[in-house]
Structure 1
Amino acid sequence: MKTVSIKDFYVDMNVKNNGVEFDVSDDGHIGDLFVTKTGIIWCEGKTSKAKGRTISWQELRDFCKNNP
């Protein structure tokens, strides 16, 4: 069963530079998703945040708009 959990629940009303980290698992760790004020960062497996795939909010908007 796929689960998504917040690793650190301390969040101000506005997302700050470090963002919020979500742990994604399905019978084991799949990866981490960071939501920041500049976009999202997907880290497959044990990939560090610095080596993750960054997607800007504009890229995410365009993707969602073109892939309903």
Structure 2
Amino acid sequence: MALSREDEARAEAKILNERYMKLKGRPYPLKKRMKTMKSRPWKDPSWIDVYIDRLSKAGVPD
């Protein structure tokens, strides 16, 4: 079931990223996220949650 959770999270992140784009006119920087996770963040499923968390804190309104 981990895959469906990740797909769900990716979809959520995509929506949030689109909102951020409308707001700021640029996508939320992935690089910023990558530096904080040690090596290969995509191997760790929690990175998507961290990303969503950061996106929602980046001033993206509902």
TM-score normalized with structure 2 length: 0.24
More helix by share: 2
Length-normalised TM-score, structure 1:
0.23
Whichever structure has more strand as a proportion of its residues is 1
Q: More relative contact order in 1 or in 2 (CA 8 Å, sep 6+)?
A: 2
